[in-house]
Structure 1
Amino acid sequence: MSEGTRRAVRTALASNLALLLLKLSVAVVTGSSVMFAESLHSLMDSINQLFLALGMRLSSGGRSHAFPFGRGREQFFWSFVVAMGTATLSSAFSILEGVEKLIYGEELRDLWIALIVVVVGLILEGTALRVSFGSFERARRSEGFRSRLAYVRSTRNTTLLAALFEDVASVSGLLVALAALLMVELTGDVVYDAVGSIAVGVILATFGLLLAREARSLLIGEGLSRAELERVIEVVASHPAVARVMDVSGTFLGVDSAILGVEVNFRDGMTTDEIESAVNEIESMIRRVFPQAKYVYVEAEEPSARRVS
């Protein structure tokens, strides 16, 4: 796991803990639903960052008898937990608080305090977003992606995505809170406070479900992308001992770890020693173009088997 990802998680955790205390204090003083929703948002974000940190720690445990390929998928699992917590608990509390305010209403007090805290929150969360987005950009460029959307869809670093999504959701939620509180101040109508709380809940649910989709796919064994498979096939087919590449398949065991199976038909007349030497060379060639391939298995097949090249 890169230092950039760890830094993004640590920065987000520190920011959320500070904002939790500020927002909750202001929610009690002012009676604002949108500030209470933001307090719950910061609470869940803090818990989520602890889960992400736990996932990073557990995933680095290495191989064991119980986990012969390591525990790299711990990060996928804890990212999924974070996503579902955000999409359900955080969003539900925010929406319910807003609905309750719509039904019963309540006069808000000392709104200027809430406005100051929201501005402070935007500064803190903006700093956290800058860190997570910077880590995201460095990772995207290092992997050769031009499109940010394409990288979001392709990356296996769900921990970094979770940190980035949460920071974007936090800044978006604070902007909604600022707009809602300003409208209450200008119009005197507390319905804007309630609507703001509901809007924060919708934002949380949206980002949570987006992250859950990515993490779920990796948890259940998402394979290599078409581009990655084609690159591996091209490299294997270029070896002089290979007559045909019969099949290539693989899946990710963690953010930086994949298992790959390659079936090839070797040229006629090769001895056992020559085939063994060719297999070792093919494995090395694959790892050079696809460093995440920690486990590579090359198997000789008859030409009648399925062919991909």
Structure 2
Amino acid sequence: MSTPTDAPGHPQSKTAIIAALAANLGIALIKFVAAWFTGSSAMLSEGIHSLVDTANEWLLLLGLRSSRQPATERRPFGYGRELYFWAFMVAVFIFAIGGGLSLYEGYEHLRHPAPLGSPTWNYVVLAVAFCLDGSSFLVARRTFNAQRGQQPFWAAFRASKDPSIFVVLFEDASDLLGLLIAFLGVFLSHWLNRPELDGLASVLIGLLLLVVAGLLLRETKSLLLGEPAETPLLVKISALLDADQHIVRSAPPLSSYLSPHEILVVVPVEFVPGLPASQLTQVIGQLCDAIKAAHPDVRHIFIQPAALGLPEKPTA
């Protein structure tokens, strides 16, 4: 089976996104104020970072809302992949805007280093931001841990089909690391009287965002193109079909995720010869209902009668 299913509307995902949006909006404002008063390049990069994150959370909320639209004649399988599209756009924004602007700002500060103002503003803002980002990170981590169960973190990340959770988790983790880098940049810049270190911190923040964006781009691209269901789930579906007395043999199921908890499955099946059309329709309907009852994430199941050149299943 896939990861545990949220209730309709993904309330856990939505809670994590709203918590991150509120935190990042407040943090962005105070970071820009601190950057204005102190002239810190690292703080300006962190403000850009938080502003981009705020826009990203809004895009994820838009994706969640759009993905819940009912199926239409033009979209018979619904709009589930809207979430994957907007998650992909979030990764692009992190890469192009967050990482790009931070690198540019840091490069300019390295070329033209200027002494910083009083560090008090920076330290206060960094402390407040760390508390807010930390709270948002804990919410996202708790939600992600509830989904991954006993899986190792990286295995769960690669297997996850819900970008609204892992995107927020990675954003918040990069926020906390960025704050640590900004703190070191401001502190060392004042302590060593080397203003270029503040610009170096901005460059490091930009590189951090590029790494995070790269991970998210790879995973969300895979989801957008269509990932198959997990092998254990497909094996169980095949076993359920092969156990039916009306089936001679079945081919390996074809599958694709349409949304985090919506799977499309197509199975070519060879039925016993001479089965009346009316009974064939009844048997297919019963098998579809049985598969959906056993595996709720399988929302669309198509059993396709076919003549298969495969070895027959063993008889008792």
Q: Fold conserved (TM > 0.5)?
A: yes
Q: Distance in 2 between matches of 1:127 and 1:111?
A: 24
Evaluate the alpha carbon distance shift between residue 78 and residue 306 of structure 1 in structure 2; reply closer, same or farther with a 3 A threshold: farther
Q: Which residue of 2 aligns with 1:290?
A: 295
Q: Which residue of 2 aligns with 1:201?
A: 206
Q: Which residue of 1 aligns with 2:60?
A: 52
Q: Which residue of 2 aligns with 1:64?
A: 72
| Residue pairs, 1:119-198, within 5 angstroms | 119-141=127-149, 145-198=150-203
Q: Which residue of 2 aligns with 1:220?
A: 225
Match 1:102 to one of 72, 91, 110: 110
1:40 aligns with 2:48: yes
Q: Distance in 2 between matches of 1:306 and 1:294?
A: 29
Does the CA-based 8 Å contact 2:69-2:79 persist in structure 1? Answer: yes
After superposition, the CA RMSD in angstroms is: 1.8
Does the CA-based 8 Å contact 2:24-2:50 persist in structure 1? Answer: yes
Q: Quote the offset at 1:305 in angstroms.
A: 6.1
Q: Which residue of 2 aligns with 1:75?
A: 83
Secondary structure of the structure 2 residue equivalent to 1:253? strand
Write the letter of the residue equivalent to 1:225.
E
Q: Distance in 2 between matches of 1:286 and 1:209?
A: 37
Secondary structure of the structure 1 residue equivalent to 2:140? helix
Match 1:280 to one of 264, 285, 294: 285
Q: Distance in 2 between matches of 1:227 and 1:164?
A: 27
Q: Distance in 1 between matches of 2:270 and 2:239?
A: 14
Higher mean alpha-carbon deviation, 238-247 vs 10-19, is at 238-247
Evaluate the alpha carbon distance shift between residue 221 and residue 273 of structure 1 in structure 2; reply closer, same or farther with a 3 A threshold: same
Task: Give me the identity figure in percent.
Answer: 26
1:10 aligns with 2:15: no
Q: Distance in 2 between matches of 1:244 and 1:111?
A: 73
Residues 192-221 of structure 1: CA deviation (Å, up to 9, x unaligned): 211110111111111111111111112122
Residues 35-55 of structure 1: CA deviation (Å, up to 9, x unaligned): 000010011111111111111
Q: What is the total number of aligned residue pairs between the two structures?
A: 306
Secondary structure of the structure 2 residue equivalent to 1:243? strand
Q: Quote the offset at 1:279 in angstroms.
A: 1.4
Secondary structure of the structure 2 residue equivalent to 1:247? coil
Match 2:92 to one of 52, 68, 84: 84
Q: Quote the offset at 1:234 in angstroms.
A: 2.2
Higher mean alpha-carbon deviation, 228-237 vs 86-95, is at 228-237
Write the letter of the residue equivalent to 2:137.
L
Does the CA-based 8 Å contact 1:101-1:194 persist in structure 2? Answer: yes
Q: Which residue of 1 aligns with 2:122?
A: 114
Write the letter of the residue equivalent to 1:9.
I
Does the CA-based 8 Å contact 1:236-1:285 persist in structure 2? Answer: no
Q: Distance in 1 between matches of 2:264 and 2:312?
A: 20
Q: Quote the offset at 1:80 in angstroms.
A: 0.4
Match 2:251 to one of 246, 254, 272: 246
Q: Distance in 2 between matches of 1:82 and 1:20?
A: 17
Write the letter of the residue equivalent to 1:66.
R
Q: Quote the offset at 1:303 in angstroms.
A: 3.2
Unmatched segments (≥5 aa) in structure 2: 1-8
1:300 aligns with 2:305: yes
